[in-house]
Structure 1
Amino acid sequence: MWEKSVDINLISEIRAKTTVYLGVGAIGKITDIAQELSKKGINKAVVVTGKSSHIKTGAWDKVKHALDAANIAYTLYSKVTPNPTVDQVDEAAHLARAFGAQAVIAIGGGSPIDAAKSVAILLEYTDKTARDIYEFKFTPVKAAPIVAINLTHGTGTEVDRFAVVSIPEKEYKPAIAYDCIYPLYAIDDPALMTMLPVDQTIYVTIDAVNHVVEAATTTVNNPFAISLARETIKLVAEYLPRAKQDPQDLQARYFLLYASLIAGISFDNGLLHFTHALEHPLSGVRPELAHGKGLGILLPAVVKQIYPAKGAILADILAPIIPGLTGAENESPKVYTALKNWLKSMGISARLADEGFTAGDIDKLVKLAFETPSLKTLLDLAPVPATPEVVRNIYSDAL
């Protein structure tokens, strides 16, 4: 396999809309990034993180040292939770504005990075709130510069234009997509991810798998998104078992991180549909549900619905985990069962019922899928008509 010839200690510079530094030790590039920010006239920044991972991984020490060396003053907001809320974003934005921050540095997984992107918008639109953003009361065209230091291998948010933040009182979990929130720089260092617990390792990786299954099968898919999808699933099939067995396996972490990165680029190009549109109501109602776990629970039921329409593509991209598919419509039940078995072997065997959902919740979930701002847009990209009946069938199959 060609992966064995890759020097994972070589810091690669990958140029998408974002300049990404990938490799073991890439966190050292924060020194150069801080110097570049300083040259642009930035002398104050807000750092947006979760409660502790930025410290436990050692990333925070590196960032502090780099900012001090570049004479960039900083203030820290470290209250972002999984499934971040508009109130957290507003609190961080208030802190950043009062400090006079000119840039936003995110340290964490998808939640801190998405919150940071939202803060970056509010630094430019000082009369707006996070609810204004996520209820689509205006269209941002500018944001403060963003630097994303990634601590998980799943979301791809460090290289894309998306962010997701919840509105708790409405149980909404909308997604935004604006060119102004592509990070300027991102750091993908697998050495920062060896402390990820096994369950989080599984959930974030399955998030990446869902990104590419959806991106490859939307009504606006393209060959680039499909090619990245096949490669992502191949890498996950090979390296997720290794990372589960040995969390310190840097080669496994490197290729899961690379898979996540290209999955982010895949759905930045091909977009998303059912699985994300239907998971957001789940973790909107139950914020304690890990996003990737919810996606994993839904994935077989989604593929069962779309396989007749996109069998040829799915047979190709799923070949590393379900070999021998031809793409024929009658394979749909087989793929449904095989995906459930593969997910179980990876560590996701739960059903929605195990997460506290009942048949009585389905009508509410269907309503949220169609009424939450932005989710209808995703449903409209599905390869089969996203009727309430189809959405209800997916939830029922996953129950």
Structure 2
Amino acid sequence: MAWTYSQPVKIIFGNNKIESLHEIFTELGLKNGLLVSDPIFVQNNVADKIIDHSKGLLVKVFSDIVPNPTVDNVDACAKLIKENNLEFVVALGGGSSLDCAKAAASVCVTEDSIVPYHNGEKKFPENHLPLIAMPTTAGTGSEVTPVAVLSNPYIGKKAPLASDNFYPLCAIVDPVLTTTTPNFVTASTGLDVLAHALEGFWSIHHQPICDAVAQHSTKLVFKYLLRSYKDPNDIEAKEKMCEASLMAGLAFGLPKTTGPHACSFPLTNLYHLPHGEACAFTLDYFARINAEAENGRLNNFAKEIGFEDAYAMADEIANLKKALNVKTTLSNAGIKDEDIENIAKLSMHPNMLNNPVTMDQESLIKMYESLR
């Protein structure tokens, strides 16, 4: 096996690290920055605390972001950066604020909208503003990946956009920031962690370092996600889920995601399932499909983390989804039988090509029919 590994993001991990923002920014030579924040953190004054801890190095706030950030959100953010000659960007929040900030920090050095980049018509120039990622959910792993997922409501498109520009200069992971996360968000984002770890492992582009962190992350999710969901003040569970999220980001960043993520896009676009819940919707099914692929790699993986085999692990994923009160059937997701063929067609996203077992529209129809 030949492989390469690269991870350019400096990672600072620990409880209450936000109190050291001024020192961190100064050490990195940053000043005159923009805080890109989920709206809730402006409303509950967490954004104010971040600005206070920066001691004057963050001078503007942008929070006009919807849960699935749009091209308009990115363009508005980039406009604010240009109008105020801002020099770096800090993203505070879940995947939405990080995705918006990543794209804005690159497109702001051009005269363009983000649209032609999202459409694949243009490639970003190499220069971009430095980005600091501060996740508030244990979920996307976006703080260590070069990917942003954006929506264009004008053409009904939600799709990932990848660029090396999107790697943050630094990720500051403070588990204390996740203690205010609502339970349903903890559930959805935690399942996203599990999907990232497992898909990174079974992707056809897997490699040893990513395999190792995928295994570490998966074990943590099975041990700590339900605890984190049940008790927002369980700081050990919150810390371990932040660790799992970060490791899962490292696990899938290079191998890329596979079938469950490919299927998640129509489930979110058409039926508005939150991203992590949408990924988990088919995750246990794909664990069974992929169990014997590549001489049973996934079976061996499952045994190494304490399961009898991949099928037993898939059963536990299904049990975990039920315990977290997420949608598990077509009927409770609002999907009708007559929709199945269209969903299967839309699930043939390029990420499906990374799955170790080849899937086509017919096999996807069979899968969705089993989820009635």
| TM-score when normalising by structure 2 | 0.91
Aligned match of 2:78 in 90, 93, 99? 93
Name the Cα RMSD after superposition.
2.3
Q: CA deviation at 1:94?
A: 1.9
User: Does structure 1 residue 29 correspond to structure 2 residue 7?
Assistant: no
How far has the Cα of 1:343 moved from its partner?
A: 2.4
Aligned to 1:318: 302
Which amino acid counterpart does residue 252 of structure 1 have in structure 2? A
Distance 1:198 1:316 in 2: 32
1:145 to 121, 124, 130: 130
* Deviation of the 1:69 alpha carbon: 3.4
Task: Give yes or no for the alignment of 1:106 onto 2:94.
Answer: no
- The equivalences for 1:47-58 within 5 A come to 47-56=35-44
Alpha-carbon spacing, 1:317–1:170, altered in 2? closer, same or farther (3 Å): farther
Of the candidates 106, 121, 131, which is equivalent to residue 106 of structure 2?
121
Distance in 2, matches of 1:268 and 1:110, equals 14
Q: 2:263 aligns with which of 264, 274, 278?
A: 278
Aligned-partner residue type, residue 339 of structure 1: I
Are 1:354 and 2:338 counterparts?
no
Q: Which residue of 1 aligns with 2:56?
A: 69
3-state SS of 1:380 partner: helix
Q: Is the 8 A contact 1:152 1:257 kept in 2?
A: yes
CA contact under 8 A between 1:29 and 1:187: conserved in structure 2? Answer: no
2:210 to 212, 222, 225: 225
Unaligned runs of 5+ in 2: 1-5
1:384 to 2:368 alignment: no
Determine whether 1:131 maps to 2:125.
no
Between the aligned residues of both structures, percent identity stands at 27
Deviates more, 1:202-211 or 1:308-317: 308-317
Cα separation, 1, equivalents of 2:331 and 2:229? 25
- The answer to whether the aligner puts 1:243 opposite 2:228 as a matched pair is yes
What secondary structure sits across from 1:350 in the alignment? coil
AA in 1 matched with 2:87: Q
Q: Which amino acid aligns with 2:284?
A: P
Q: CA deviation at 1:132?
A: 1.3
State how far apart, in whole Å, the 1-side matches of 2:134 and 2:226 are. Answer: 25
Cα separation, 1, equivalents of 2:89 and 2:347:
31
Aligned mates of 2:259, 2:153 — CA distance in 1: 22
Residues paired across the two proteins, number = 366
Structure 1 residue 24, shift from structure 2 partner: 0.7
Is the 2:94–2:136 contact (alpha carbons within 8 Å) kept by the matching residues of 1?
A: yes
| Paired residue type of 2:283 | L
SS at match of 1:219: coil
Q: Distance in 2 between matches of 1:283 and 1:147?
A: 27
TM-score (norm: length of structure 1): 0.85
Shift of the alpha carbon at 1:249?
1.1
- Which residue identity does 1:32 align to in structure 2? E
User: Runs of 5+ in structure 1 lacking a partner?
Assistant: 1-14
AA at the equivalent of 1:60: A
Gap change, CA 1:225 and 1:358, over 3 Å in 2: same
Give the counterpart of 1:294 among 278, 281, 284: 278
Separation in structure 2 between the aligned mates of residue 139 and residue 369 of structure 1, nearest angstrom:
26
Q: Is the 8 A contact 1:109 1:155 kept in 2?
A: yes
Alignment of 1:201-212 (within 5 A): 201-212=186-197
**TM-superposed deviation, 1:106:** 0.8
Amino acid at match of 1:306: N
* Conserved 8 A contact 2:284-2:315: yes
Opposite residue 353 of structure 1, the aligned amino acid is S
Secondary structure of 1:164's partner? strand
Residue 367 of structure 1 aligns with which residue?
A: 345
1:103 Cα deviation from its structure 2 partner: 1.7
CA distance in 2, matches of 1:335, 1:34: 43
CA distance in 2 between counterparts of 1:272 and 1:250 reads 29
In 2, the alpha carbon distance for the partners of 1:146 and 1:129 equals: 19
- Give distance in 1, aligned partners of 2:369 and 2:72: 32
Q: CA deviation at 1:138?
A: 1.2
